[in-house]
Structure 1
Amino acid sequence: MILKQIPIQHYRLLMFCYILLFVVSCGGNSSKKAEQKTSEKEAVVTKAIDSSKVILFFGNSLTAGMGLDPSDAFPAIIQTKIDSLGLPYKTINAGLSGETTAAGKSRISWVLNQPIDIFVLELGANDGLRGISLNETRDNLQSIIDYVKDKDSTTKIILAGMQMPPNLGPSYTEEFKMIFPKLAEQNDTYLIPFLLDNVAGITELNQSDGIHPTEEGQQILAKNVWEVLGPLLEK
């Protein structure tokens, strides 16, 4: 059988259709590849966010930044420093004004609702101001430490030391002060010797109540915390 010769214009049209089909097909593959790459990038970003380690600050009004904007409290100041250094950590401010060690003991179970890498425990000041039994304060702090360890034995714990003015008597004042280093030693935790070092008793660094730090005072608290916390992050 003899095939009829295809007219040149039909041939050109046929070739154009083939080329067009090929381009569209390749374009579709390129689009799919581009979408795949975008999805991969999004996955990497999500993974990077999810991989951020968590620092939980668990305390009272000193941590919460009472009387100030939350961005001026020392946990937020530390977050700014962490970000400037490009370290993969995010901070959570779980400070609650008026919190005692007993209240903290009751609250800890629902605060630890996610994995925590570093736990900063800042409680006890309100116990001292109320003259609560030293044994009760000590036992409550120990219970909180035990709970954190039982939840995740790899969590690093930093205990913020606190001191009281001498109006409750020298014996109470000295014993209260020693609660924190003794607990830190017994539990092999890190210790901030005195959270309010270079702030307590200095009028211009405290608000009108004479207890809660000003913005400048919170900057010093952040420095006191960073001296212990910083080396752990930079490792």
Structure 2
Amino acid sequence: MRNLRRFGAIMIVLMLFSCGGKTEKQPENKTSEEAKTETETKESEKDVILFFGNSLTAGMGLEPSEAFPTLIQNRLDSLGYDYEVVNAGLSGETTASGKNRIDWVLKQNVDIFVLELGANDGLRGIPLKETRQNLQDIIITVKTKNPDTKIVLAGMQIPPNMGQDYTSEFKNIFPELAEKNDVALIPFLLEGVAGNPELNQPDGIHPTAEGYKIVRENVWSVLKDKLEQK
């Protein structure tokens, strides 16, 4: 009986030591979780550059890696900028459909917003007043959502199919909106590419991979002034 009591006492002591050992390991587990959270927080702290546009932004006809937003991401990475590029280009997008989609896109935090819309409006002959108002509404929505978001507007031009007056007024929409809203302007997104068969796909509208390298430079020449080195 005495031996049984002694055995029971030893087992209690061992159990206490065992519990104590587990208690001492808890801080290690907590530290590991904190480290994981810290890493995730650092990744989420990346500033976001969102390209909001149509097939020109989406890179229609090419691999996603060849579209100009990805080329901009590569440039940022090579120069040590801590930005995440989001390609929100959607083929066939007009300013009206973009206006309807903007609230959904802005559910994430956006530090730099590059607006590239209007080309499909022009090719379809949509009334210029409507195109201008839709672009204005998108800009207002972005500013309302976050007044600190830097906005870059991509200028666009179209062939004279719709007549000289329409073509000329369409071209003027972009610099006029940029001035009115005090936002940066890429004068013409396709400068040096439009009209060159060697730099465009067979449809004559969408750039080739080589054409997009020039588009990247057109964008970068304006975008670089909006970046912050961390």
Q: Secondary structure at the match of 2:227?
A: helix
How much does 1:185 deviate?
Answer: 0.4
Separation in structure 1 between the aligned mates of residue 34 and residue 214 of structure 2, nearest angstrom = 43
1:204 maps to 198
1:124 aligns with 2:147: no
Separation in structure 1 between the aligned mates of residue 41 and residue 86 of structure 2, nearest angstrom = 19
> What is the aligned counterpart of 1:47 among 31, 41, 49?
41
1:110 maps to 104
Separation in structure 2 between the aligned mates of residue 126 and residue 224 of structure 1, nearest angstrom = 20
Separation in structure 1 between the aligned mates of residue 111 and residue 153 of structure 2, nearest angstrom = 14
Separation in structure 2 between the aligned mates of residue 220 and residue 37 of structure 1, nearest angstrom = 48
Separation in structure 1 between the aligned mates of residue 145 and residue 26 of structure 2, nearest angstrom = 44
Separation in structure 2 between the aligned mates of residue 38 and residue 219 of structure 1, nearest angstrom = 43
1:82 aligns with 2:73: no
1:155 aligns with 2:149: yes
> What is the aligned counterpart of 1:170 among 150, 161, 164?
164
Separation in structure 1 between the aligned mates of residue 152 and residue 180 of structure 2, nearest angstrom = 13
Over 6 Å off, 4+ runs: none
**1:189-235, Cα deviation, whole Å (9 max, x unpaired):** 11100000000001110000010000111111111111111121145
Amino acid of the structure 2 residue aligned with 1:135: K
- Identity over the aligned pairs, expressed in percent? 61
Separation in structure 2 between the aligned mates of residue 222 and residue 188 of structure 1, nearest angstrom = 23
Unaligned runs of 5+ in 1: 1-20
Q: Secondary structure at the match of 1:45?
A: helix
Separation in structure 2 between the aligned mates of residue 80 and residue 216 of structure 1, nearest angstrom = 15
1:218 maps to 212
Q: What RMSD over aligned residues (CA atoms) do the two structures have, in Å?
A: 2.3
1:71 maps to 65
Q: Secondary structure at the match of 2:179?
A: helix
Unaligned runs of 5+ in 2: 1-16
Separation in structure 1 between the aligned mates of residue 27 and residue 222 of structure 2, nearest angstrom = 48
Amino acid of the structure 2 residue aligned with 1:176: F
Amino acid of the structure 1 residue aligned with 2:182: D
Amino acid of the structure 1 residue aligned with 2:130: E
The TM-score, its normalising length taken from structure 1, stands at 0.84
2:52 maps to 58
How much does 1:87 deviate?
Answer: 1.5
Amino acid of the structure 1 residue aligned with 2:104: W
Amino acid of the structure 2 residue aligned with 1:95: G
How much does 1:36 deviate?
Answer: 5.0
Separation in structure 2 between the aligned mates of residue 179 and residue 95 of structure 1, nearest angstrom = 21
The TM-score, its normalising length taken from structure 2, stands at 0.86
Separation in structure 1 between the aligned mates of residue 157 and residue 68 of structure 2, nearest angstrom = 19
